Amino acid sequence: MSTKKLTSEEAIALEDQYGAHNYHPLPVVLDRGEGVFVWDLEGNRYYDFLSAYSAVNQGHCHPHILKALQEQAQQLTLTSRAFYNSTLGPYEKFVTDFFDYDKVLPMNTGAEAVETAMKISRRWGYRIKGIPENQARIITCHNNFHGRTISIISASNDGGATKDFGPFTPGIVSVPYNDLAALEAELKHPHTAAFLVEPIQGEAGVFTPDADYIPRVAALCEQYNVLFVADEVQTGIARTGRLLASCEGCNCTGARCESTIAKKPDVLILGKAISGGVLPVSAVLANDAVMQVITPGSHGSTFGGFPLANRVAMAALEVVENENLAENARILGELFRNEIQKLVDTTEVVTLVRGRGLLNAIVINDAEEGDAAWRICLKLRDNGLLAKPTHGNIIRFAPPLVMTREQLLECVAIISNTIIEFEANEWRK
């Protein structure tokens, strides 16, 4: 059956009837993508301002990444880790060099990588820090998003994500985000193994902490002998204008990590854009002192480190470096926030714009239960730009990082005109 013959209406009806209703998509059916654009079944073109939750930082169907996929697909796709394969070692050398860590543990989805980091943290707690058996604690933050497994939602305070999925995993405590005093109080507990944190809370609505928060988190974790575990599944890989958001305090401006002043995370979690959106790839990076706790049989995944993923991830990171995506995100992000601030200053509909690099959000002057943000996203779609509300009244703007300045300014015009029209025709009516 060719999907080309479907209309958007038919495609939506099929998903509605045969798929579990675990998402509430914006009504648009995407059929093709290239760079910063996607097209629907009827051939309408849109700017993609979600980038699959920042998995497509390199742009849709990037030719360099697809070439690696196609070449490897014709040679060898999956072997499992029961045997060595010819792509894993080169990839591991490449990715550890790229991010400046001793070792990597390859997985597939972001949630799996977070689970992996939690397991590493607990084992490190028992075997290195000397926490008594089954007493290890992991500190997380309010309003975090780390994925959807039972252990991970055990750290969530989002009712929609947790209701009727208990009982939950013990050993997880939670502190307010961007609150160093609350964190320090928990770090002092001798059974604390790790602090798991997003450098910017993406799903929470691009909540950006104080500039010195992450560097001070790193220092506090070191002081109390607790692992600093950074979940950069959404913020990493150039999205925020640096290779990693947790290195914001670092002097390095290059595409690769050349860590200078900042203390790096003890455990770094990557996902999403490490594959350029081509297939699920995730990774946990750490130095030997931590990663040594992982021994044969203690952890794994049939697909983790599979040949296709290894080649694709290397190509995806090469694009980030070769096309200076971090720098582009930094420059365009500043331009975007400056331009949108002009809108904030003149409209009643948007109360603020925030973010870093090309991970930004606007807050709509509406209750969280209101539908103004959803209706604005429908209008943006009609005007050729796709974005999605998060937490009801927040709209995240995260285009592929391969965008040009002209394209970004065109998008700013679409967003501004849409909001101005919305205010004139629909606001408070």
Contact footprint for ligand PLP (CB under 6 A): 53, 109-111, 114, 145-147, 198, 202-203, 231, 233-234, 271
- Report, in Å, the least distance between residue 205 CB and ligand PLP: 12
- In the numeric block, the tokens 């509909």 are attached to 349
Q: Which is nearer to ligand PLP, 110 or 171 (CB)?
A: 110
Closest distance between ligand PLP and the C-beta of residue 69, in Å? 18
- If the CB atoms of residues 135 and 162 are measured against ligand PLP, the closer one turns out to be 162
- Minimum CB separation of residue 208 from ligand PLP in Å reads 14
Tally DSSP H helices, then E strands, for the chain.
14, 15
Computed from CA positions of residues 411, 415, 416, 420, in that sequence, does the dihedral angle turn out positive or negative? positive
Q: What is the CA radius of gyration of the chain?
A: 22
Catalytic residue, chosen from 40, 48, 100, 231, is 231
Distance in angstroms (rounded) separating the CA atoms of residues 269 and 179: 22
Q: Order the strands of the 37-40 sheet from edge to edge.
A: 30-34, 37-40, 45-48, 385-386
Our CB check for ligand PLP shows the closer of 386 and 412 to be 386
Q: Which of 253, 180, 257, 172 is nearest to 211 (CA)?
A: 180
Nearer to ligand PLP, 55 or 363 (CB): 55
> Measured from the CB of residue 202, what is the shortest distance to ligand PLP in angstroms?
5
Nearer to ligand PLP among residue 241 and residue 427 (C-beta):
241
**Residue with smaller CB distance to ligand PLP, 22 or 74:** 22
Tell me if residue 272 is catalytic. Answer: yes
Q: Which residues of 135-161 are buried (b: 16+ CB within 10 A; e: fewer)?
A: ebbbbbbbbbbbbeeebbbbbbeeeee
Q: Which of 40, 272, 306, 397 is catalytic?
A: 272
Alpha-helix runs per DSSP H in 323-404:
325-346, 372-382
Contact 268, 117 (CB under 8 A): no
C-alpha 31: how far from its chain's center?
23
Among candidate residues 224, 216, 181, the one with its CA nearest the CA of residue 199? 216
- Which residues are 192's β-sheet partners? 137
- Min separation Cβ 127 and ligand PLP, Å: 26
Tokens representing residue 66 in the block = 């697809």
Least separation in angstroms between residue 115's CB and ligand PLP is 9
CA atoms within 13 A on the CB side of 333: 24
- Residue 69 CB partners (closer than 8 Å, separation 6+): 278, 279, 308, 311, 312, 315
Residue nearest to ligand PLP (CB): 110
Q: Among residues 349 and 357, whose Cβ is nearest to ligand PLP?
A: 357
Q: How far is the CB of 23 from ligand PLP (least distance, A)?
A: 12
Measure the CA angle with vertex 273, ends 271 and 278; round to 5°: 100
**Of 145, 306, 397, 422, which one is the catalytic site residue?**
145
Q: Smallest distance from the beta carbon of 109 to ligand PLP, in angstroms? A: 4
- Please name the helix (run of DSSP H) or strand (run of DSSP E) that holds residue 34, with its range, or none: strand 30-34
* Closer by beta carbon to ligand PLP, 114 or else 414: 114
Report whether 301 contacts 116 (CB < 8 A): no
Residue 404: how many CA atoms within 13 Å on its side-chain side? Answer: 5
Q: Looking at the annotation, which residues are catalytic? A: 145, 231, 272
